[in-house]
């Protein structure tokens, strides 16, 4: 899944590669995927909507990647959307959910893994979680602080709610998912299953610090190494707690890394370093 750091890294690569290019042809939904989301469930409307438009910018917020086109049109990609820059027709993948051909003969190809969004729109995109992402404060802003995180938890049953649920569920922090969660909690020395009611003020402050520091490092490194960039290369951030590493010892203490299923996804943590 593309989360906050990957959408930031992708937006930079899209800017480098696609600004000024005009869309010649759009093919959507050729390989049907039941969990590929299109605007109004109508991929057939895409060619008329965006052909002839030029890419003018790309930006990321709340784990959503927006590509801005002329005349206030745009594209938005999220969740399991995977994007590739392709230079030659013969290199195109056989199966894809969105293919955009540009006036210089290059392509932007979108595929969906488990589920994800490939949206085209004019003016505004009216899907609920996009509006949430626009209106929620960025984790990189000063307003995202321990007070904010404590207020967020005040609305929950903190004796039953885990730290994982607080941070990565219900779009409370848009774009912060189960992927980035693992290394943030390792950095904060907190277990994913720990109940929010056991967190001290210092723990909340540590969580905020870890969120900002780890996500900044991930974004500056071009995303996590468990995700691919626009050229199909893994991101430059080496995950510490992930499917790539859990068979190796904890880099801090040497104990084994624990992998468990928890709240719809695997969590990876060190039972010794994280409380
Ligand atoms: Zn450890």
Per-residue pLDDT for the chain (275 aa), expressed as one digit of tens each? Answer: 999 999 999 999 999 999 999 999 999 999 999 999 999 999 999 999 999 999 999 999 999 999 999 999 999 999 999 999 999 999 999 999 999 999 999 999 999 999 999 999 999 888 877 777 777 889 999 999 999 999 999 999 999 999 999 999 998 999 999 999 999 999 999 999 999 999 999 999 999 999 999 999 999 999 999 999 999 999 999 999 999 999 999 999 999 999 999 999 999 999 999 99
What CATH number did the domain enclosing 235 receive? 1.10.8.50
What is the Å distance from ligand 1's center to 251 Cα?
A: 7
Residues lining ligand 1 (ion), CB within 5 A? 250, 252-253, 255, 270, 272-273
Same domain, 164 and 235: yes
Structure tokens of 128? 């609920």
Same domain, 28 and 91: yes
What is the Å distance from ligand 1's center to 263 Cα?
A: 22
What is the Å distance from ligand 1's center to 194 Cα?
A: 16
Domain count, the chain: 2
Cα–Cα distance measured from residue 269 to residue 271, given in angstroms and rounded to the nearest whole number: 6
Same domain, 190 and 128: no
Cα–Cα distance measured from residue 109 to residue 111, given in angstroms and rounded to the nearest whole number: 7
pTM score: 0.95
Domain termination site, one of 134, 161, 190: 134
Domain termination site, one of 108, 134, 160: 134
Domain termination site, one of 110, 134, 158: 134
In a domain, 275, yes or no: no
Structure tokens of 265? 């996804």
In sequence order, what DSSP letters do the residues of 8-62 get, joined into one string? HHHHHHHHHHHTT-BEEEEEE-SS--TTEE-GGG-GGGHHHHHTT-BEEEEEEET
Residue 183, burial from CB neighbour count under 10 angstroms (0-12, 13-18, 19+): buried
What is the Å distance from ligand 1's center to 156 Cα?
A: 30
Same domain, 130 and 142: no
Q: Which residue range forms the structural domain that includes residue 159?
A: 138-270
Same domain, 72 and 101: yes
Can you give the C-alpha Rg of the chain in angstroms? 20
């Amino acid at each position: 899944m593309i989360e906050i750091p990957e959408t930031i890294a992708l937006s930079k690569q899209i800017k480098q590669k696609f600004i000024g290019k005009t869309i010649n042809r759009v093919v959507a939904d050729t390989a049907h995927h039941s969990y590929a989301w299109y605007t109004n469930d109508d991929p057939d409307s895409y060619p008329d909507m965006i052909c002839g438009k030029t890419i003018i910018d790309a930006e990321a917020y709340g784990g959503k990647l927006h590509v801005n086109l002329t005349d206030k049109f745009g594209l938005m990609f999220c969740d399991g959307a995977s994007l590739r820059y392709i230079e030659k027709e013969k290199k195109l993948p056989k199966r894809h959910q969105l293919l955009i051909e540009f006036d210089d003969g290059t392509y932007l190809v979108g595929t969906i893994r488990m589920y994800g969004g490939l949206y085209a729109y004019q003016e505004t995109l009216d899907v609920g979680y996009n509006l949430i992402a626009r209106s929620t404060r960025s984790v990189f802003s000063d307003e995202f602080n321990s007070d904010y995180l404590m207020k967020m938890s005040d609305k929950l049953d903190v004796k039953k709610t885990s730290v994982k649920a607080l941070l990565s569920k219900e779009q409370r922090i848009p774009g912060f998912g189960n992927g980035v969660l693992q290394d943030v909690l390792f950095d904060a020395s907190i277990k994913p299953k720990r109940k929010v009611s056991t967190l001290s003020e210092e723990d909340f402050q540590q969580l905020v610090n870890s969120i900002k520091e780890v996500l900044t490092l991930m974004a500056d490194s071009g995303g996590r190494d468990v995700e691919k960039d626009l050229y199909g290369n893994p991101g430059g951030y080496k995950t510490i707690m992930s499917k790539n590493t859990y068979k190796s010892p904890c880099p801090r203490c040497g104990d084994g890394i624990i992998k468990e299923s928890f709240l719809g996804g695997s969590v990876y943590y060190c039972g010794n370093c994280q409380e």
